[in-house]
Structure 1
Amino acid sequence: MGFATTLGRPGSGPESERGHGIRVLVVDDSLIVRSAFSRLIEQEEGLVLTAAVSNAEDALQLLVTERVNVILLDLEMPGMGGLDALPKMIQRAREAKILVVSSHAKDGAEATVEALSLGAADTLQKPTGGFDQAYREILVGKIHALGRKPLRRAAKSATTPETPPPALRPASRQRARVLAIGASTGGIHALGQLFGTLPRNLGIPILVTQHLPQSFNEAFRNQLQDVSGLPAVAAEDGQVLLPGRIAVAPGDAHLTVVPSHSEHVIKLDRRPAPSGCMPSVDPMFASLAMTHGASALGVVLTGMGRDGTEGAMELAEAGGTLLVQNEASSAVWGMPGSIARAGLASAILHPFDLAARIASAAGVGSA
């Protein structure tokens, strides 16, 4: 099997001509899309087009010999589809981050959520009205964020001494009575790892804010329910927090908690958040600082930006505990890294290990 469909020979010209950069592989059966993505990558400073191929079989063959940092993957292609190929790509290119760029990203919510749960780092809908400047900026921003070297790896290759790990904050001594989890880029895969390890008898309410369009919410809740073995419901105004139930923030509102008589209930907040995210982790954490204080446990998984940091400051000030995902296992160490560098985290761990810490904080044994 050759690379007759490749735009630009694998491993040739661009890197040697323009220097080292983020190496990108485009996998799409549309010649128009391959051509547009290839031009965009070749024109962008810091990006290198490794190859553009029309099918997953060629991509897998190329990954045997070529190193890539980011893969732009279509899901619907002749032969082996993107969903079938995705786990094989992750196995062959362990350091590569996969960005699903597909029409399925809007219309096929279940397929997209499945791709994200299998390990794709992020998703973006194919443009419907052409590759305008706004779309180019979004796509390029995602490629740069996913292809950025982890800080520790960059430090090891630099001449300056390695940055010391962030200081850890003592955890609350109170038993956790509510668990709130925030995530963004790469979060669905990390949530699968976390909930797949978390005991089902945790016995406390669980709140989840994942940056995701509203159209994906139902498919996302179904995926959470399958992996956790717990009911996962859409958060609604006035909904009582119940032990052993996962409440998921909608795509168009922040999930916050307020007191109501002797209970705590959900209040959806649609006001803009400082981070600009909708939904945002900040209002969720800030509300728990007021309602639960030292008995609140906040967890931040992989994600771009710093959403969650301001809310984490309020939660920490109220005596609550923050746990974050480590850099090595994160698709993007933006959100968890921001909290860790602020000295707010009591642990910086892989999602598997975070599950054990959560169980301990809730006063139950691990799974």
Structure 2
Amino acid sequence: MEETPTHSPYKVLIVDDSAIVRGLVTRMMAEDAEIDVVGSVNNGEEALAVMERGGIEVVVLDIEMPVMDGLTALPKLLEIDPTVRVIMASTLTKRNADISFQAMTLGAVDYIPKPSSSKDLNVGEGFREELLDKVKAWAEQRRKMLEVDEAAASEVAQRAEEAEPEAKPASPEPDGGASDDAASEGKAHAFRAEMSVEHQQLQKQGRIQRKRFTAELRPRPMQQQRHQPAQMRQTPQPQQPAPSAAPASQPDTSAAKTPATGAAAGRPAAPSRDPGRLIRDAAIAAGGQPKSAPKTAARPATKAPAARTAPPPKRQAAPAPQKAARAPQARSGSAPAPAKRPSARGGISLLPEKRINVEAIAIGSSTGGPQALFEVLRGLNGVRQPIFITQHMPATFTTILAEHITRLTGLKCQEAQNKMPIVGGQVYLAPGDYHMTVEGRGGGRHLMLNQNPPENFCRPSVDPMLRSLVASYGGNILTAILTGMGQDGMLGGRDVVNAGGMVVAQDEQSSVVWGMPGAAAHAGICSAVLPVGGIAAYIKKFAGGR
């Protein structure tokens, strides 16, 4: 018998022009008690109508549809709710793979390759497992990020409320208008400064999901209003209209679906942007202020509805089930997942760092990996060592991923080929459905591909890559294990450490799924567990580079 989930079901919208595909996918999801299919529609225009009603956490979005295709609908969906997680679904063609990656630069968080026929779809157990895993992982990640912002908002609100009595006694009655305004203005500046520091602390290292990886990517109008306070680059100006008021990122509130209408109409735009008001009403501060970054899931703080008159309890009103849903994420692998994210490092012991002669850099990743890879690799410009990557991904998609890595990071990335010689400073990506290994020593090293049985249910797999690197480079290897389900990379990482190399893992807060990096961290083989934004600098500390 199926266990009853300890959290409310994840709310999912399916958008596909094939009635057969919609029916089969809906049935797959309906069989899982942790998922509630809120809607199933056949084009982007209908999807927008469902989104306007609110409550959607994940959208599975087809690419090719009549009336409005997936790429056209994507920014419009994110405009309605910047925190919704959009997973692109497409058949395995080079064109669709390329569009899926374009969509990820425009705000989609992931992709899933659909079987090419309804018959394949019906019997495709692998497709079902991958679909359910990704939907749950991204929905849970969204809830956790909203929870982080809720906690931050409550803290800021409490500080603001504590500071209020000190600033008030000076001029209670005389000159009600002018002096009050002046005092309020002064407090506003102080509050801005405090908020900047607070947000810098929260955003500094963990900005990952939905982040733009090139300068020109996606400033969406709904966001621009609220984007500035959280980023700390500019001081917010009290007169912005804030069209998408806090409810837009709240999945289960009635206001969430009307970012441009309900929010703007029900409350003057100023309150969520006016620091003076935020000080007077800590609850509004908790709801409105942190909801800034659409793209980093970490920033959309959305506790608005719960806050009306008093600072909300720390854990109260984020989408109901934030905490309990950690376990399901690791269901497809045996990775140990800690019970609570904030205390992720509690049970982890780190190995001492050591100076090693780094000759090779190895990276393993899975769910959420493309975004994390872009982030890490962009910081590795100038390294002289070859970089080997295994990302769990099907054929065709790895070809496009290699092109996007080259385009977005400045590093030359190639999909590995048999007998390809290894050159320093270049990136080699394992092709879909093949394990990538290294053979030879010194100047005679080259890549080899094989279709040996999957390891950790994956091909390509990280473990065989790491074992071969140890055989070729000894302990002169620096390995990074990034976000992903399961525990691939943990055993290979142990071999790296036993040979004298080092392993760094991505931390839980910046991971979509803390399966692979969590397994490495809990195995006691890591010298560091870091936010994704700190991993490149850590690698360069030992590997050198500009």
Alpha-carbon distance between aligned partners in 1 of 2:418 and 2:125, rounded to the nearest angstrom: 37
* Secondary structure at 2:537 match in 1: helix
> What CA distance in whole angstroms lies between the structure 2 residues aligned with 1:62 and 1:227?
34
Do the aligned partners of residues 34 and 253 (structure 1) sit closer, same or farther apart at CA in structure 2, a change above 3 Å counting?
Answer: closer
The alpha-carbon deviation at position 283 of structure 1 amounts to 0.9
Cα distance in 1, alignment partners of residues 36 and 518 from structure 2? 27
Query: Which structure 2 residues correspond to residues 101-250 of structure 1 after superposition, within 5 A?
Result: 101-103=89-91, 108-116=96-104, 118=106, 119-126=108-115, 128-130=117-119, 134-135=123-124, 138-148=127-137, 149=140, 162=340, 163-165=343-345, 166-196=348-378, 198-250=379-431
- Whichever residue aligns with residue 466 of structure 2, its letter is F
Bigger mean CA deviation after superposition, 135-144 or 279-288: 135-144
**RMSD between aligned residues:** 3.2
Matches within 5 A, 1:241-280: 241-260=422-441, 262-280=443-461
Secondary structure of the 2:475 match is: helix
Where does residue 12 of structure 2 map in the other structure?
24
Question: Which residue of 328, 331, 334 maps to 2:509?
Answer: 328
Cα offsets for 1:319-355 (capped at 9, x unmatched): 2111222223323222222212212222333332212
Deviation at 1:90, TM superposition (A): 5.2
Deviations 1:5-62 (A, max 9, x none): xxxxxxxxxxxxx982122111223344334333433343221112223333443454
- Per the TM alignment, residue 123 of structure 1 is displaced from its structure 2 partner at its CA by 1.0
Deviation at 1:72, TM superposition (A): 0.9
- The answer as to whether partners of 1:99 and 1:124 remain within 8 angstroms in 2 is no
Is 1:36 paired with 2:217?
A: no
- 175-184 or 230-239, which deviates more: 230-239
- Correspondence 1:357 to 2:538: yes
- Once residues 62 and 336 of structure 1 are traced to their aligned partners in structure 2, the CA distance between those partners, rounded to angstroms, is 36
Aligned residues of 1:127 and 1:135 also touching (Cα < 8 A): no
Q: Does 1:86 align with 2:74?
A: yes
Distance 2:453 2:339 in 1: 40
Measured in 2, the distance between the counterparts of 1:88 and 1:193 equals: 25
**SS of the residue 2:463 aligns to:** helix
Alpha-carbon separation, structure 2, partners of 1:50 and 1:232: 40
Q: What SS does structure 2 have at the residue aligned with 1:214?
A: coil
Q: What is residue 490 of structure 2 aligned with on the other side?
A: 309
TM-superposed deviation, 1:278: 1.2
* 8 Å Cα contact 1:207-1:246 kept in structure 2: yes
Q: C-alpha offsets along residues 111-157 of structure 1, whole Å, 9 cap, x if unaligned?
A: 23333455432312145033765336632553245414369878956
Instruction: Check whether the contact 2:344–2:508 (CA below 8 A) recurs between aligned residues.
Output: no
Residue 377 of structure 2 contacts residue 411 of structure 2 at CA under 8 Å; is this kept in 1? no
Report the AA paired with residue 122 of structure 1. Y
- Structure 1 length-normalised TM: 0.81
Query: Residues 244 and 338 (structure 1 numbering): CA distance in 2 closer, same or farther, change over 3 Å?
Result: same
Question: Are residues 220 and 297 of structure 1, via their aligned partners in 2, closer, same or farther at CA, if it must alter by over 3 Å?
Answer: same
For 2:104 and 2:369, locate their aligned partners in 1 and report how far apart those are by CA, in whole Å.
8
Q: Does 1:75 align with 2:63?
A: yes
Q: Give the secondary-structure state (helix, strand or coil) at the position aligned to 2:358.
A: coil
CA contact under 8 A between 2:386 and 2:422: conserved in structure 1? yes
| Distance (whole Å) between structure 2 residues aligned to residue 120 and residue 137 of structure 1 | 20
Q: Distance in 2 between matches of 1:318 and 1:51?
A: 52
Q: Distance in 2 between matches of 1:215 and 1:103?
A: 10
**Is this contact kept in 2: 1:99–1:121, CA < 8 A?**
yes
Inter-partner Cα distance in structure 2 for 1:19 and 1:299: 32
Q: Displacement, 1:205?
A: 0.7
How many residue pairs align between the two structures? 346
AA partner of residue 228 (structure 1): T
Q: 1:62 to 1:268 in 2, by over 3 A?
A: same
Q: 5+ residue gaps in structure 2? A: 1-5, 148-320, 326-337
TM-score under structure 2 normalisation? Answer: 0.56
Q: Which residue identity does 1:27 align to in structure 2?
A: V
Q: Percentage identity across aligned positions?
A: 32
Name the structure where strand makes up a greater proportion of residues.
1
- Structure 1 residue aligned with 2:466: 285
Structure 1 CA distance for aligned equivalents of residues 69 and 473 of structure 2: 46
- Partner SS, residue 479 of structure 2: strand
**Which letter maps to 1:188?**
P
Residue 36 of structure 2 is aligned to residue 48 of structure 1: yes
Q: CA deviation at 1:207?
A: 1.1
The 8 Å contact of residues 17 and 66 in structure 2, kept in 1 or not, is answered as yes
Report the residue type matching 1:55 in the other structure.
N
Secondary structure of 2:87's counterpart equals strand
Cα distance, 1:209 vs. partner? Answer: 1.3
Seen in structure 2, the aligned counterparts of structure 1 residues 105 and 315 have a Cα distance that, compared at 3 Å, is same
SS of the residue corresponding to residue 294 of structure 1 reads coil
